[in-house]
Amino acid sequence: MRGRVPARPVGEIAEAAARVLVEKGYRAAGVSDVSAALGLSHGAIYTYAKSKEALLYLALLRLIRPESLEELATPVPAPTPEEIVALVEGWATGQAAFPTLIAAAGRRPRSSAVAEEFGGIVDELYGFVERNRHLLALVERCAPDLPELAQYYFVHQRRTLLATLADYLRRRIRSRALRPVPDLSAAARFIVETIAWFAWHRSGDPDSAMLDDEACRRTVRHLLLSAFLPGPDAAEH
C-alpha cells in the first residue's frame, strides 16, 4: 500500500506561489499552476490555501514576515483586497520611508555637502531596491491585476517617491548645487530606473546577471554623481 504523502511546509507552498505569480502575473496564474510546481494534485493545494488570493497572501508573507508562516492555521482563508494592501503597507512603513531623501528634501541646501548628501540618497535607494527586489518583483507583477494594490503601490508609494526626489532636485538645482536638467520628473525617473535596473532587473538578464554586485553599486553611484554634480571634480565623489 502506498504511504501517505508527507505534508509540505507552508513556506514551501508560499515560495512556489511567489515563483508562479512573478512568472505569470496574478490574472494568468492559477491554483493549478502552483500545485503543478509543487508536484501536488489540484485538490491538495486547497489544504494549504483556500484561493488564489490566499496563495498571494502567503507569497507576500514569505517575503515580508517569513517567521509568521509556520504560525498560520491552514487552510489560509481568502484575504480581502484591503488585507493584502495592509500587509504591503505595513512593510512599506518600515522599509520604504527613505529618511535620507526626506531629510535632504526638507532642509536648506549646502553646496559644500551636496556630494555627500546626493551620494547618500543614491546609496539609500540602491540598498532598498537590492534588499527588496524579490518582493518588488511580486508586487509589481501582481498589482496591475489588483486595483486596490495598484492604487497603493503605483500611485501612493511610487509616485510619492518620484515627486519627493524631483522636489529635492528642484531645490538643489535652484541653489546651483546640482546641474540643471531639461525635466525634473524625467530626471527623478532616470535616477530611480537606473538604480532599479542594476540593483534588481539585471539579475534576470543573462548578459548582465554575472556583473559583480559591488561593482554595479559603486559604478551607478559614480555615474549618477558625475551626471548631476557640477564642475570637473564631480566624478571624484
pLDDT class of 2 with cuts at 50, 70, 90: very low
pTM of the model: 0.91
Q: Domain 10-79, what fold?
A: Arc Repressor Mutant, subunit A (1.10.10)
Name the residue among 20, 24, 49 with its Cα closest to residue 37.
Answer: 20
Q: What stretch of H or E contains 66?
A: none
Cell numbers describing residue 16: 512556489
pLDDT class of 4 with cuts at 50, 70, 90: very low
**pLDDT in the model for residue 235:** 47
- Neighbour count for residue 81 (Cβ, 10 Å): 14
Q: List the domain boundaries for the chain.
A: 10-79, 82-236
Name the residue among 198, 208, 201 with its Cα closest to residue 141.
Answer: 201
User: Is the model more confident about 123 or about 4?
Assistant: 123
75: preceding bond cis by omega (within 30 degrees): yes
- Residues 116-144: b if buried by 16+ CB within 10 A, e if exposed: ebbbebbebbbebbbebbbbbbbbbbbbe
**pLDDT in the model for residue 146:** 98
pLDDT tens for residues 131-147?
999 999 999 999 999 99
pLDDT tens for residues 172-203?
999 999 999 999 999 999 999 999 999 999 99
Q: Is the pLDDT of residue 236 over 70?
A: no
Share of the chain above pLDDT 70, in %: 93
- Neighbour count for residue 182 (Cβ, 10 Å): 6
pLDDT tens for residues 5-57?
447 899 999 999 999 999 999 999 999 999 999 999 989 999 999 999 999 99
Q: What is the distance between the alpha carbons of residues 83 and 57, in angstroms, rounded to a whole number?
A: 9
**pLDDT in the model for residue 227:** 97
Long-range contacts (CB closer than 8 Å, 24 or more residues apart) made by 35-41? 38/8, 38/12, 38/13, 40/8
Q: Is the pLDDT of residue 114 over 90?
A: yes
**pLDDT in the model for residue 96:** 72
User: Is the model more confident about 20 or about 234?
Assistant: 20
Contact of 187 with 166, CB cutoff 8 Å: yes
**pLDDT in the model for residue 1:** 30
**pLDDT in the model for residue 106:** 86
**pLDDT in the model for residue 234:** 52
Contact of 207 with 141, CB cutoff 8 Å: no
CATH code assigned to 82-236: 1.10.357
Cell numbers describing residue 122: 543614491
pLDDT tens for residues 210-228?
999 999 999 999 999 999 9
Q: Give the rounded distance of the alpha carbon of 23 from its chain centre.
A: 16
Cell numbers describing residue 219: 559604478
pLDDT tens for residues 62-95?
999 999 998 899 999 999 999 999 999 999 988 7
Q: Is the dihedral of CA 33, 36, 48, 8 positive or negative?
A: negative
Averaged pLDDT of the chain: 92
